[in-house]
Amino acid sequence: MITVMVNESQIEVDEKTNIHQLLKKTNTSVNGIAVAINDSIVSNSKWETMFLNQNDNILIIKATQGG
């Protein structure tokens, strides 16, 4: 297990966890979101091949509507 920060909350995940698996674990819809790891945006085309590392800081940003 490794420890990562997701939106300022510490969670533990398996060592071979990718972004897509993290989104499932946190019950986050993949629609209308952006993901950054350590202040770098990760394209959604890389979510299944980008694996998390110990102490990564992940920010999940959800799009909202407003006016």
pTM: 0.87
The pair of three-digit structure tokens given for residue 17, joined into one six-digit string: 């966890």
pLDDT, greater one: 62 or 3: 3
CATH number given to 2-62: 3.10.20.30
Runs of H (alpha helix) within 1-67: 19-25
Indicate the domain borders of the chain: 2-62
Spatial contact of 15 and 2, defined as CB atoms under 8 Å apart: yes
The pair of three-digit structure tokens given for residue 29, joined into one six-digit string: 């819809």
The per-residue pLDDT for range 32-47, each reduced to its tens digit, is: 999 999 999 999 999 9
CA distances in angstroms from 38 to 18, 57, 65, 67, listed in the order given: 15, 5, 26, 30
Compute CA 61 distance to the chain's CA centroid, rounded to the nearest angstrom: 9
Neighbours of 49 (CB within 10 A): 10
